[in-house]
Amino acid sequence: MHETNEKLKAFFNQNRIPVFGIEKADQLEAEPPGNRPSDLLESAESILCMGVPIPKGIFLCARSSEQMYWRTVNVFYRNIDAALIRAASIIEETGGIAVPVYGCYPFDIKGRGDFWGYLSLVKMAQTVGIGKMGKNGLLFNAEYGPRLLMGGIVTTLKLPPMAWPQRDEKGCPEECTVCQDQCPASAIDKSGRIDRLACVKYSMKSPIFSHFMRFQEVNTEDVQMINHITAIDDHSWYSCIRCVSVCPYI
């Protein structure tokens, strides 16, 4: 299947996707039920994860950087999703089955608003060797720091493990605590714990979603559907990107 890897590499290079990797799916089978490759595709053999860097200027913009980020990720996620679909088609042309793991949704809402993707893209990225989880909970890549937006694929095809480009991914420097010190929501604990709910509540605004949630008769399925319609892409707003914009390694 090295030929398939080369086809994928050529496709990603052509579409200016500079980072991707492939690994055996069983490397993530220890994840909780519902968040494993086999939960998406019963006969999963391989996972693929790729990343696209957001330009540094988005985070360093002196005016309305959060709005700039909001618009940028909306455009990027659509492009990433489209690339995943085409990459999945390349895999299926060789006889495998491939399921995209989109960068933005669908996902589950647990508890009082904690968002969980069907598969963790950060853990997929770590597993395939394109970065390590940083102190802020985002992927930290040796070249792009915490600026990568990601997408993935689960497939029944046995693809040879690889990472492109090949780097020694060590993660963010141990001595750096800038994102922990400056998080306005106090969501990044120095013990290594990330309060995801505190982060989401502080950093994302969705007036349409909030409006619908005021209705008393809302069940769990309604919440999932309303969120996917009203709080994704152009319909929600990022009000904080501090943990990335203050990172010395962007």
Kindly give the pairing relationship between strand 107-110 and strand 46-53: unpaired
Residue-wise pLDDT tens digits, 40-54: 999 999 999 999 999
pLDDT of 112 strictly over 70: no
Omega within 30 of 0 (cis) for the link into 106: yes
- Mean pLDDT for 120-130 is 96
**DSSP state letter for 172:** S
Mean pLDDT of 93-112: 80
CA angle 161, 162, 163 (to 5 degrees): 145
For the residues 217-238, what does the mean pLDDT come to? 64
What amino acid is encoded at 6 in this protein? E
pLDDT top residue among 162 and 110:
162
Residue 1 confidence class, pLDDT cut points 50, 70, 90: confident
192-195 contacts: CB < 8 A, separation 24 or more? 192/135, 194/136, 194/137
Q: What pLDDT, on a 0 to 100 scale, did the predictor assign at position 206?
A: 66
Looking at residue 238, what is its pLDDT?
80
What are φ and ψ of residue 141, in 5° steps? -105, 145
Q: What would the pLDDT profile of 154-200 be if each residue is shown by its tens digit?
A: 999 999 999 999 888 889 999 999 999 999 999 999 887 899 888 88
Q: Which of 202, 188, 193 is CA-nearest to residue 238?
A: 202
Question: What are the tens digits of pLDDT across the range 198-222?
Answer: 888 888 776 666 555 565 566 666 6
Q: What is the DSSP string of 184-250?
A: TT--B-TTS-B-HHHHHHHHEE-HHHHHHTTSS---HHHHHHHHHHHSSGGGSEE---HHHHT-TT-
**Is the model's pTM score more than 0.85?**
yes
Q: In angstroms, rounded to a whole number, what is the distance separating the alpha carbons of residues 210 and 8?
A: 41
Report the distance separating Cα 168 and Cα 39, nearest Å.
30
3-state secondary structure string, 56-123?
HHHHHCCCCHHHHHHHHHHHHHHHHHHHHHHHHHHHHCCCCCEEEECCCCCEEEECCCEEEECCCHHH
